[in-house]
Amino acid sequence: MSHRIKVLSPILALVALAAIACQTPAPSAPAAGGGGDTPKRGGIAVIATRDDPPTNWDPGYTSGITLHQVSTGIFGAGNFVRQCRNDVYTVCPYLAESWEAGTDLMTYTFKMREGVFWNDGTPFTPQDAVYWLDLTRGTQVGDKTRPAWIDVGTQQVQKAEVIDGNKVRVTLKERVPAFLDMMKTATINIAYPRHLFQPKIEAGDVRVGPSDVGFVSLGPYKLAKHEKGSLIQLRRNELYWEKDAKGEPLPYLDGIDFPVMKDLNTIVAAFRTGRLDGGARGTGFGLLPEQRQALDRTLPGQVQYAEIAGYRWHIAWNQLKQGPWQDLRVRKALGLWLDKRSGVQAVVGGQSFLHTVMDPRSGWPDPAWETWPSFNANTRDRDRADAKRLMSEAGLASGFEMDFFCRRSWVQICEWFQGDYSGLGVKLKLDLVDDATWTDRHRRGDFDGQIQIVTATFPELLEQHFGRTGLNAGGLLRHNDPQLVSMFRRFKDAQGDDARKQIYREVEKYVLQDQWYAISLFDELLAIPYRSYVKGLMPGPEEVNHNLDYATVWLDK
């Protein structure tokens, strides 16, 4: 019999959280065993990862799972705040033990935790926190520029300063009710040790990253070895500050070995033969139904599955580059033609469901979205006829060719819609690249069309993808549409979830049905295998990066 780790997505109550005037200190990490189990210390967990981390392991330039599967244990699972370990939707203190929010929601004063050290023994100070926050917003030395981070939260900050010795006061550019929820995002990590970064940047090395300073960091583990293309080893950071509910120091494990395995079948074979304790996270690495059934037959009662949704696939066209997609009729035709339900079967073996921009179970989408053109199964033939008519009206009855930008690890889904579009006469030339190249070119907007995953759990986070004009580095849409920017500005003054929901639904319809800037495909439900003796995982419901510091994981063997 297999075991299942499964949680569903509740509707959020973010404004209420952000408006709390004073946050009490965080509870200790929950006991990891559950059911009265006492966690066992020691041991090396062996968990697959799908590739080597891109760039120089800098979380400011990629939020991808290829980095965070292994780096979160090194950098830590948060910044001032984090997602609560047992609730991905709730804000918990992390390196700040408490905070106070101004009544105008434009200032936040964080009381920094004492007794925290970088893993080289240097104390972590409030000045370090301010330095990191300043650096996330970019800097310039001479003619060299370090760009700002791609996230939404840090880019709301106007000024950060140390006050009263151990406090950091953050002043925002404007009222942002969801600021704390933006900052709790699992991929916003304090990974820049001031005592090592500052001299290098002042000397002109503005693109310095964690790998350039020996991975000196704050998380529960230290990097012990990286054999590119083969193995990444983490070992316990004895200076890590966090304790569990019983006052025992974290992490429980002596370390984690991450063998680099770029193929799902290789991972399944290694898991079945006892060479892995856990599979890799990331799109294309969730088990197919037949693989899961085979493991259950081969290893009865020895396997559990983390079931994680939230990989919401989208296609988008670069509106900053010339091409047929500048014509609304062409964009609509591309959206109407694609048979999303065939992709659910072809790409993920049926382990998926259609969505708009947000998870349909969350309560955010328009209740009528399943009746919209391109979503409604009953109008499939009519949608395709309309697509051909629109292409003819645009003077492209014979179709056109275009380059399409795709991560190599996403080749299966890209080849699916490449084939599907051939019936419309659209010839996609797939530009397949590795993760490092994808990260660089994606930031520069060096593509015609792209596919990307949206994982936002509340609508304000979509500003990263939709709400900025120009390059919008890291986002899904590249556009110069002031109306989208105006829509997102309305979130700043929204009072309550009903108002926020109304704004989101206007954005949703504008992007997907009025302008057809993007095509929502389907939400991939990842089933990640772990041996039943792996305890304390606490996976999130729709956030694949949740609890990837593995601080509470232990081996019951």
Q: Average pLDDT in the 71-88 region?
A: 96
| Per-residue pLDDT band at 11 (split at 50, 70, 90) | very low
Tokens at 206, concatenated: 């503005």
384 to 96, 331, 370, 416, 518: CA distances (angstroms)? 54, 13, 17, 17, 17
| Per-residue pLDDT band at 12 (split at 50, 70, 90) | very low
Tell me which DSSP letter residue 144 carries.
E
- In this predicted structure, the answer to whether residue 4 has a pLDDT above a threshold of 70 is no
Please write the tens of the pLDDT for every residue from 220-240.
999 999 999 999 999 999 999
- In this predicted structure, the answer to whether residue 36 has a pLDDT above a threshold of 60 is no
Those residues with Cβ within 8 angstroms of residue 470's Cβ, 6 or more apart along the chain or in another chain: 320, 478, 480
| Per-residue pLDDT band at 470 (split at 50, 70, 90) | low
pLDDT at 8: 34
Tell me which DSSP letter residue 47 carries.
B
Give the residue from 85, 73, 9 showing the smallest Cα distance to 361: 9
Those residues with Cβ within 8 angstroms of residue 457's Cβ, 6 or more apart along the chain or in another chain: 9, 12, 88, 89, 310, 359, 362, 542, 543
pLDDT at 468: 73
Cα torsion angle, 441, 443, 444, 448, sign? positive
pLDDT at 415: 97
Those residues with Cβ within 8 angstroms of residue 179's Cβ, 6 or more apart along the chain or in another chain: 18, 105, 108, 153, 156, 172
Average the pLDDT over each of 23-32, 91-100, 150-159, 392-401 and give the range with the smallest value. Answer: 23-32
CB atoms under 10 Å from CB of 106, counted, come to 17
Whether domain 310-524 has CATH 3.30.1330.60: the reply is no
| Per-residue pLDDT band at 406 (split at 50, 70, 90) | very high
pLDDT at 28: 57
pLDDT at 32: 41
- In this predicted structure, the answer to whether residue 252 has a pLDDT above a threshold of 80 is yes
pLDDT at 455: 85
For tokens 């919008």, name the residue: 472
Q: Average pLDDT in the 320-340 region?
A: 97
- In this predicted structure, the answer to whether residue 147 has a pLDDT above a threshold of 60 is yes
Strand partners, 318: 478
Give the residue from 474, 460, 550, 471 showing the smallest Cα distance to 507: 460
pLDDT at 522: 94
What percentage of the chain exceeds 90 in pLDDT? 76
Please write the tens of the pLDDT for every residue from 184-217.
999 999 999 999 999 999 999 999 999 999 999 9
Give the residue from 275, 308, 279 showing the smallest Cα distance to 291: 279
| Per-residue pLDDT band at 294 (split at 50, 70, 90) | very high
Please write the tens of the pLDDT for every residue from 485-531.
999 999 988 888 899 999 999 999 999 999 999 999 999 889 999 99
Residue 436 CA to residue 55 CA, distance in Å, equals 5
Please write the tens of the pLDDT for every residue from 410-421.
999 999 999 999
Q: Average pLDDT in the 529-546 region?
A: 93
- In this predicted structure, the answer to whether residue 35 has a pLDDT above a threshold of 50 is no
Residue type, 82: R
CATH architecture of 3-277+533-555: 3-Layer(aba) Sandwich (3.40)
**63 burial type by CB count under 10 A (0-12 exposed, 13-18 middle, 19+ buried):** buried
Ranges for all domains in the chain classified under CATH 3.10.105.10 = 310-524
- In this predicted structure, the answer to whether residue 15 has a pLDDT above a threshold of 50 is no
Residue 212 CA to residue 233 CA, distance in Å, equals 17
Residue by residue, DSSP assigns 461-523 as: GGHHHHS--BT-TT-S-BB--HHHHHHHHGGGG--SHHHHHHHHHHHHHIIIIIS--EEEEEE
CB atoms under 10 Å from CB of 303, counted, come to 21
pLDDT at 79: 98
Residue by residue, DSSP assigns 380-403 as: HHHHHHHHHHHHHHTT-TT-EEEE
Ranges for all domains in the chain classified under CATH 3.40.190.10 = 3-277+533-555
